[in-house]
Structure 1
Amino acid sequence: MHSQNKYTVDRFEGDLVVLLMKGNESVQKDVPIHQFPKDIAEGDIVKEESISGKIRYKILHDETDDARKKVNDLLNNLINKNKR
């Protein structure tokens, strides 16, 4: 799959999900929340898919978990550095 159809969930604004394109966070896309799974959350990495002509978004759980782990590791390294 091309990375152009992967996004990070930045925030929610009313009935819209604000997405930032993976690899080029300056590209923002506002999408109606009904196109996402019910358990969508900020920070999730999603993939845009066209199913029977309808655009839907699938949560990429493994990529999301990896990204969250990297952020937590960075934060822990910073916290530990500041304790020294």
Structure 2
Amino acid sequence: MNSNKYTLDRVEGELAVFLKYPNETERLHIPISELDEEVKEGDIVLISIENDTYKVERLVADTEKQREKVRGLLEKLKNQQK
């Protein structure tokens, strides 16, 4: 079983578009029917593939850490513009 971290970038029609974390250079498309309703854009998840089935596990701590980092960067940019 192969597992990797991804960020849910967006939903396009019936597909969820994930970018491999942290470089975000590789994409993975998964039918949204295979996702838990709790997974939202911007979430970091661990995706495992077993027998052509995707297992998507939401990584709450990693997601929150990344969101805090982004908030800090946005705050820094706001302060530079003043």
Q: TM-score, normalised by structure 1?
A: 0.84
Residue pair 1:44, 1:59 contacting (<8 A) in 2 also = yes
| Residue identity opposite 1:49 in structure 2 | S
Residue pair 1:36, 1:58 contacting (<8 A) in 2 also = no
Shift of 1:29: 0.8
Give 1:28-67 correspondences, 5 Å limit. Answer: 28-50=27-49, 53=51, 54-67=53-66
Q: Can you give the 5+ residue segments of structure 1 that lack an aligned partner in the other structure?
A: none
Q: What number of residue pairs does the alignment pair up?
A: 80
Q: Which has the higher helix share?
A: 1
Q: TM-score, normalised by structure 2?
A: 0.86
Whole-angstrom CA distance in 2 between matches of 1:63 and 1:47: 10
| Residue identity opposite 2:32 in structure 1 | I
Where do 4+ consecutive residues of structure 1 move more than 3 Å?
Answer: none
Residue pair 1:5, 1:48 contacting (<8 A) in 2 also = yes
* Identity score, percent: 38
Q: Can you give the 5+ residue segments of structure 2 that lack an aligned partner in the other structure?
A: none
| Residue identity opposite 1:26 in structure 2 | T
Backbone CA RMSD of aligned residues: 1.8
